[in-house]
């Protein structure tokens, strides 16, 4: 009976997990509001070509692709960015810029399942569209940090780089876009020697290879030192130098703005997605060796979809990995509303009275539940105390004949007979 197991890579989220996921979702919406990002809801299924355009070779291979009954080649979305770029290139083409868009939902990648890597996972995604200015990049970084703090995840680090540095060098060296992308894919896999081989194969000069080698060895937390060392390697590459200046400007804004971001600079850091043109970053916490979020600037994607020259920058936080980070750091989501009143009919004659009282209490917004298992009073009471129910209403014939019930306050351990119409006041306060 294999069909009783979830499909490999798919998970059920049981109440405690679903509660944490919805908590993160709530915080994601709060951040969207705080920063002025409006929600859009795009379909899970899109044309394969749209999703595959700039997703990168590795991610492309992992897409769920199929032909629908109408013979269309479609895929389950592996990310939001392509769908958002489509929207901006079409239905929202005439919307005034900037456009700030937020999305949350499930995504699909045929990744090898392991801790924190699933085939169905969730992202909270934010895109800021229309500005190529550093303050837009700084906003997305600030938003990312606020989000992490807001869900209670601590000790986060942003691994950061500017893809324009590498592209600036490779462009000068005459490496084709395909060659550049192939090299980035190697870097994304941390295969530095593989990247060097590709550079050589694509005719990078001896000096160019030296520069790349030097560049790839630069990493660290010390911003001044890292940027100085990167700067030194870029003497002959003005476009790459310009990219470094851009990175510097963004970091200055973030720092001067008082954003509580801890950066780790890594000059060999590239991302698997191919649309990035500017800063790129990933979010890490010490408890996990996989990123809990990632983003960057992509100034050409909307243009590729026919939307003209519209720059953009964005980030996606991995909700499932945030859940793991919270768990590892001992952060729990608050229990929102718990059942306040359990109504126990002491005998069968009072089942309908108990039911009626539950309907009435819910009208007053008091979470209420009837004992539906027909357990005896003492078993029902011990169940109520195990579940931290605050009030038990015992419905017996004698009290009912006087229009009353027995209300037991479980926290204080006291009980009294009170009029049914007084229940909402007594429990609600």
Per-residue binder mask for ligand HAM (CB under 6 A), 218-237, x = binder: --------------------
Taking the least distance from each CB to ligand HAM, the nearer of 118 and 237 is 118
User: If binding means CB under 6 A, how many residues of this protein chain bind ligand HAM?
Assistant: 25
By CB under 6 A, residue 293 contacts ligand HAM: yes
Taking the least distance from each CB to ligand HAM, the nearer of 111 and 242 is 111
391-395/341-345 β-pairing: parallel
By CB under 6 A, residue 311 contacts ligand HAM: no
**Cβ 108 vs Cβ 119: under 8 Å:** yes
By CB under 6 A, residue 253 contacts ligand HAM: no
Distances (CA, A) of 66 to 47, 78, 82, 272: 10, 14, 18, 23
d(CA 198, CA 186): 9
**Cβ 279 vs Cβ 162: under 8 Å:** yes
Q: Is the dihedral of CA 5, 6, 11, 13 positive or negative?
A: negative
263-266/157-162 β-pairing: parallel
**Cβ 28 vs Cβ 102: under 8 Å:** yes
By CB under 6 A, residue 56 contacts ligand HAM: no
* Smallest separation (angstroms) from ligand HAM to the CB of 46: 13
324-349 in b/e form (b: 16+ CB < 10 A) is bbbeeeebebeeeeeebbbbbbbeee
By CB under 6 A, residue 278 contacts ligand HAM: no
By CB under 6 A, residue 277 contacts ligand HAM: no
* Smallest separation (angstroms) from ligand HAM to the CB of 13: 13
By CB under 6 A, residue 208 contacts ligand HAM: no
* Smallest separation (angstroms) from ligand HAM to the CB of 308: 19
By CB under 6 A, residue 243 contacts ligand HAM: no
- Expressed in angstroms, the distance from the first to the final Cα of the chain is 51
312-318/341-345 β-pairing: unpaired
Distances (CA, A) of 160 to 165, 329, 365: 12, 23, 48
Residues numbered 317 to 346 that lie near ligand HAM (CB under 6 A) are 318, 320-321
Stretch that binds ligand HAM, among 16-24, 115-123, 167-175, 388-396 (CB under 6 A): 115-123
Q: Which of 130, 134, 164, 295 binds ligand HAM (CB under 6 A)?
A: 295
| Minimal CB distance residue for ligand HAM | 318
Taking the least distance from each CB to ligand HAM, the nearer of 169 and 315 is 315
Residues numbered 70 to 99 that lie near ligand HAM (CB under 6 A) are 79-81
Stretch that binds ligand HAM, among 27-35, 158-166, 215-223, 287-295 (CB under 6 A): 287-295
The pair of three-digit structure tokens given for residue 308, joined into one six-digit string: 């003209």
Taking the least distance from each CB to ligand HAM, the nearer of 84 and 195 is 84
Paired residues of 159 in beta bridges: 264, 282
Say whether 375 sits in a helix, a strand or coil: coil
65-67/73-76 β-pairing: antiparallel
Q: Which of 27, 60, 100, 109 binds ligand HAM (CB under 6 A)?
A: 109
**Cβ 337 vs Cβ 428: under 8 Å:** no
- Which residues bind to ligand HAM, rule: CB under 6 A? 79-81, 109, 111, 116-118, 121, 123, 125, 127, 273, 291-296, 314-316, 318, 320-321
């Amino acid at each position: 009976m294999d069909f009783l197991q979830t499909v490999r890579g798919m998970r059920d989220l049981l109440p405690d997990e679903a509660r944490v996921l919805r908590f993160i979702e709530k915080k994601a919406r709060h951040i969207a509001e705080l920063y002025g990002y409006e929600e859009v809801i795009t379909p899970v299924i899109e044309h394969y070509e749209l999703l595959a355009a700039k997703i990168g070779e590795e991610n492309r291979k992992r897409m769920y692709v199929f032909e629908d009954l109408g013979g269309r080649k479609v895929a389950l979305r592996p990310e939001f960015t392509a769908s958002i770029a489509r929207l901006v290139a079409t239905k929202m083409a005439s919307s005034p810029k900037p456009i700030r868009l937020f999305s949350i939902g499930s995504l699909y990648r045929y990744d090898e399942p392991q801790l924190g890597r699933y085939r169905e996972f969730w992202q909270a995604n934010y895109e800021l569209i229309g500005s190529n200015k550093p303050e837009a990049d700084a906003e997305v970084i600030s938003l990312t940090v606020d989000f992490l703090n807001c869900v209670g995840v601590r000790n986060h680090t942003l691994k950061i780089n500017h893809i324009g540095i590498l592209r600036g060098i490779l462009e000068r060296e005459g490496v084709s876009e395909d060659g550049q992308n192939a090299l980035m894919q190697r870097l994304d896999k941390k295969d530095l020697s593989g990247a060097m081989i590709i550079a050589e194969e694509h005719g990078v000069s001896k000096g160019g290879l030296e520069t790349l080698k030097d560049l790839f060895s630069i990493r660290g937390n010390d911003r001044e030192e890292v940027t100085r060392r990167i700067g030194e390697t870029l003497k002959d590459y003005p476009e790459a130098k310009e990219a470094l200046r851009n990175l510097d400007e963004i970091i200055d804004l973030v720092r001067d703005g008082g954003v509580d971001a801890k950066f780790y600079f890594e000059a060999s850091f590239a991302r698997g997605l191919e649309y990035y043109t500017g800063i790129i970053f990933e979010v890490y916490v010490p408890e996990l060796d996989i990123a809990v979020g990632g983003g960057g600037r992509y100034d050409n994607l909307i243009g590729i979809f026919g939307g003209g020259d519209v720059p953009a920058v964005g980030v996606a936080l991995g909700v499932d990995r945030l859940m793991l980070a919270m768990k590892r750091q001992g952060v729990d989501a608050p229990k929102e509303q718990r059942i306040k009143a359990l109504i126990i009919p002491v005998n069968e004659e009072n089942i309908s009275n108990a039911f009626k009282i539950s309907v009435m209490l819910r009208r007053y917004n008091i979470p209420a539940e009837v004992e539906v298992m027909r357990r005896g009073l003492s078993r029902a009471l011990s169940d109520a105390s195990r579940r931290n129910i605050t009030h038990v209403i015992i419905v017996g014939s004698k009290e009912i004949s006087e229009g009353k019930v027995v209300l037991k306050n479980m926290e204080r351990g006291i009980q009294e007979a009170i009029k049914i119409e007084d229940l909402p006041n007594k429990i609600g306060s």
